[in-house]
Amino acid sequence: MNDKKLKDLLKEQKQPDFRLEQITKDIYQKGIFDFDEITTISKDLRKILNEELSILPFVIKEVVISSDGRAIKALFELEDGNVVESVLISPKPETWSACISSQVGCAMSCEFCATGKLGLGRDLTTDEIVSQAIFWRGYLRENNIVGTYANIVYMGMGEPFMNWDNVKASIDILTNEKLGNFPNRGISVSTSGVVSGIKKFADECGQINLAISLHFATDEKRDKYMPVNKAYNLEALSESLRYYLAKNNRRLFIEYIMLEGVNDSDEDARLLVSYLKSIGKKQLVIVNLIKYNSVDDSFKPSSKKTVMHFKELIKSGGVPCTIRKSIGDDIHGACGQLVGKDKCK
């Protein structure tokens, strides 16, 4: 929401100083998107505010719910006509996580990712990022969905570290006690390996979780499938992660998509363990094995058996490893499937 405009309007209407805090609290902490629902202010003021200001900087074009009810995808049309997607996922009963976008499309061109195939549209503004998270808070309330809104993950469309200023500002708003009031530890940012961003993150966001989309443990493969590696190779990445771990004694999440015949052999597991050991503090590093969600015919997901075996190899190398369940792929709301249009119709 445009807080400055709200502040000016309230001043114009000669409202007392506490009014701004009262209204913003309802918007951010209850997820209210219509001034008419803010019943602590007069009808006349509600009418004026509704005429002059819209709380969300986008229109909700569509909301699609997965067959098991554990993933809900929303399509937002921004004021300039661009569209972005955001997903609410329930990884365990009565717990909800919002997966939000930081850019329209993405410039990083990872071969396996649907968003990457779009190229970059533009960066999202701070307000557009924050409003996705606030939208889900309101959605849960309005639909009487039980459970805690526990996590916000920057794993939707876009590379957060290529839009760092706005992403950082959005984190500040979401964690501000008087605004979003989300716990720092419930927020995670995922990067494909933008080293300059990792360093800034280490300096500026000590309490927020960091996830690295590693996927390949050799420069040869990473260069081939993730062009970001040409700018920041594995050694540069490892150095930035050492810096991060030295500054913040926090868990570091390593994302690894399992691609049949590409990165799922015993040798790949060995190389992954050895790379992660080079970062040090291996008790803080945790590998999440991710099922590849189909984007086109270039890749196939590894079989369940291979994934289980790979997990055991990583664990026997002394690195904690989990298999991440894929939620929401029937609504194209799973990782790497967000493209800003609804393919379910």
Q: What are the catalytic residues? A: 85, 335
Beta carbon nearer to ligand SF4, 90 or 101: 101
Beta carbon nearer to ligand SF4, 49 or 289: 289
| End-to-end Cα spacing for the chain | 31
Rounded Cα distance, 259 and 292, in Å: 6
Position 293 contacts ligand SAH (CB under 6 A): yes
Interacting residue with ligand SF4 among 97, 163, 166, 213 (CB under 6 A): 213
Beta-ladder partners of 289: 256, 323
Q: What is the DSSP string of 202-260?
A: HHH-TTSEEEEE---SSHHHHHHH-THHHHS-HHHHHHHHHHHHHH----EEEEEEEBT
Position 166 contacts ligand SAH (CB under 6 A): no
Interacting residue with ligand SAH among 90, 151, 166, 191 (CB under 6 A): 191
Q: What is the DSSP string of 77-145?
A: EETTS-EEEEEEEEEETTEEEEE--SEEE-SS--TT-TGGGG-EEEEPPHHHHHHHHHHHHHHHHHTT-
What, of ligand SF4, ligand SAH, none, does residue 134 touch, CB below 5 to 8 Å by kind? none
Residues 253-272 close enough to bind ligand SF4 by CB under 6 A:
none
What, of ligand SAH, ligand SF4, none, does residue 292 touch, CB below 5 to 8 Å by kind? ligand SAH
Per-residue interface string for the shown chain with ligand SF4, residues 183-212, x marking contact by CB under 6 A: ---------x--------------------
Rounded Cα distance, 105 and 192, in Å: 14
Judged by the rule CB under 6 A, the positions of this chain that interact with ligand SAH are: 112-113, 155, 159, 190-192, 213, 255, 257, 290, 292-293, 295, 335-336
- What residue ranges bind ligand SF4 (CB under 6 A)? 106, 108-110, 113, 115-116, 158-159, 192, 213, 336
